[in-house]
Amino acid sequence: MKTTFSVPLSRIIEDFSLETVAAAPSPDEAQVTVTEINRPGLQFNGYYEFFDSDRIQIIGLNEHGFLVEMPEAERNRRIRDFFEQRPTAVIVTRGLEILPAMREAAEQCGVPLLRTAESTSSFMAALIAYLNLHLAPRITRHGVLVEVYGEGILLLGESGVGKSETAIELVKRGHRLIADDAVEIRRVSNKSLVGSAPDNIRHFIELRGIGIINVSRIFGVGAVKLTEKIDLVLNLEPWDATKNYDRMGLETQKTEILGLEIPSVTIPVQPGRNLAVIIEVAAMNNRQKKLGYNAAQDLLTRVGMADGLQPADVPAEPF
C-alpha cells in the first residue's frame, strides 16, 4: 500500500516567513499532502473540471490584476466560488493587496489565506523544491552516510563490520558525517536520492568500547552536514577467501533503492586494510566515471586488450 506523507502548513508558514491573513482552521491542523501547486487563473474564469483542492493555490500579479479589473459584484462572486472549493491554502505573492472579498471568503470557508513579499516565480520554485523534499517517498536503511570529496557515500553492512569507526576516521581526514546507524533516504526526483539523519539522533555516532559521541561537539560544525545526495553505495563485508571480488572495475554494480539504481561497490574488510583511504579513492574514482573516464578501460586499451575482453577474461592475479 502506498504511504502518503504530509507536512504541516504551520511549518511552511514558519520556514517561508509567510504573513497569516486568515487562519481557520489552525495552520497546525492543516496538512499539505501533494507536491503540485496551482495558479487559479482558469478557476477565476469559472473552469473547475480538473481542479485539485489538495494543492496550495498561488495568486500572483496576473490573477490579482484579472480580479481587480472585474466589476465588483462579479469579482466577489468568483472569489467566493473559488474559496468554496476549500483548497488547502491560498498564498498571495509580491505583497499584493488582500481584496476584502478574499479575506471574507477565506474566513467563511475556513481556508488559510497567506501572503509573501517574494515574486511569484521565485516563491513557486522554492516551494516546489521544499515540498518535493518533505513529501518524497522514503525509507530508513541501517548504515552510515558520509560526504567524501563532495560525493555522498552510503556505507552498508552488518553490525560490527566497522562502518561507524570508518566514518570517524573519514571525519578526522576532513570529510563530513550526515547520518550514523539510521539513514533516512528520500527519492526527491526521478534521478536523485537524498539521505539525512532522524532528528533525535542527528550528529550522534556509536563507537563500541567508547559509547555515544556527538560529532559536531568534538570535531566542530564543519564535520557534519544535514543532508546529502547519495552518489555511491559501498557494501562492507568480512573478507571471504572463497569469494571472487572485482579486481578490475569493469563491471558496473548497482543497488536499487526506492526504484532507483545507484552505483555500488563491495569492499571486503580484513585487518590491515585502511578503509578510510579506500573509501576516499572509491569516491574520487566514482567522480571520474561520472565525468566519462574509466581507469580499467584505459589500462586495457593501453595494453591492447580492450576489444572483446569480458570481465571473466581478466587474470585472477594482478598485473
pLDDT of 235-284, one tens digit each?
A: 999 887 777 777 777 777 899 999 999 999 988 888 878 899 999 999 99
> For residue 75, what are the CA distances in angstroms to 38, 39, 51, 58?
20, 17, 19, 17
CATH no. for 138-312 = 3.40.50.300
Q: Of 112-116, 161-165, 314-318, which range is least confident?
A: 314-318
* Catalytic residue (one of 142, 208, 217, 290): 142
Give CA–CA dist 14/171, Å, rounded.
33
> For residue 263, what are the CA distances in angstroms to 195, 247, 260, 318?
15, 16, 10, 24
pLDDT at residue number 319? 37
Any catalytic annotation for residue 254?
no
For residues 194 and 188, is the Cβ–Cβ distance under 8 A?
yes
- Its pTM stands at 0.76
With cell 489538495, the residue in question is 54
C-alpha cell at 124: 513557486
Residues belonging to the chain: 319
Give CA–CA dist 301/312, Å, rounded.
17
In three-state form (DSSP H/G/I as H, E/B as E, the rest C), the secondary structure along the chain is CCCCCCEEHHHHHHHHCCEEEECCCCCCCCEECCCCEECCHHHHCCCCCCCCCCCEEEECHHHHHHHHCCCHHHHHHHHHHHHCCCCCCEEECCCCCCCHHHHHHHHHHCCCEEECCCCHHHHHHHHHHHHHHHCCCEEEEEEEEEEECCEEEEEECCCCCCHHHHHHHHHHCCCEEEEEEEEEEEECCCCCEEEECCHHHCCEEEECCCEEEEHHHHHCHHHECCEEECCEEEEEEECCCCCCCCCCCCCCEEEEECCEEEEEEEEEECCCCCHHHHHHHHHHHHHHHHCCCCHHHHHHHHCCCCCCCCHHHCCCCCC
pLDDT at residue number 25? 66
C-alpha cell at 17: 516567513
Any catalytic annotation for residue 175?
no
- What sign has the CA pseudo-torsion 115, 116, 120, 126? negative
Span 109-122, mean pLDDT?
A: 95
Non-local (6+) Cβ contacts of 30 within 8 A are: 8, 9, 10, 88, 89, 112
Any catalytic annotation for residue 134?
no
* Catalytic residue (one of 229, 247, 287, 289): 247
Give CA–CA dist 138/101, Å, rounded.
41
Q: Of 27-31, 62-66, 219-223, 304-308, which range is least confident?
A: 304-308
Could you tell me which of 97, 277, 63 has the C-alpha nearest to residue 169? 277
* Catalytic residue (one of 11, 39, 181, 287): 181
The 10 Å Cβ neighbour count of residue 293 is 11
**Is residue 313 pLDDT above 60, yes or no?**
no
pLDDT at residue number 162? 87
Q: Do domains 7-134 and 138-312 have the same CATH topology?
A: no
The band of 311, judged by pLDDT with boundaries at 50, 70 and 90, is: very low
Q: How many CA atoms lie within 13 A of 318 on its CB side?
A: 6
For residues 178 and 227, is the Cβ–Cβ distance under 8 A?
yes
Q: Which one is the CATH code of 7-134: 3.30.70.1140, 3.30.460.10, 3.40.1390.20, 3.40.50.2300?
A: 3.40.1390.20
What would you report as the CA-atom Rg of the chain, rounded to the nearest whole angstrom?
26
The domain spans of the chain are 7-134, 138-312
Could you tell me which of 74, 112, 119 has the C-alpha nearest to residue 96? 119
The band of 122, judged by pLDDT with boundaries at 50, 70 and 90, is: very high
pLDDT tens by residue, 27-38: 677 899 999 999
Any catalytic annotation for residue 181?
yes
pLDDT at residue number 294? 83
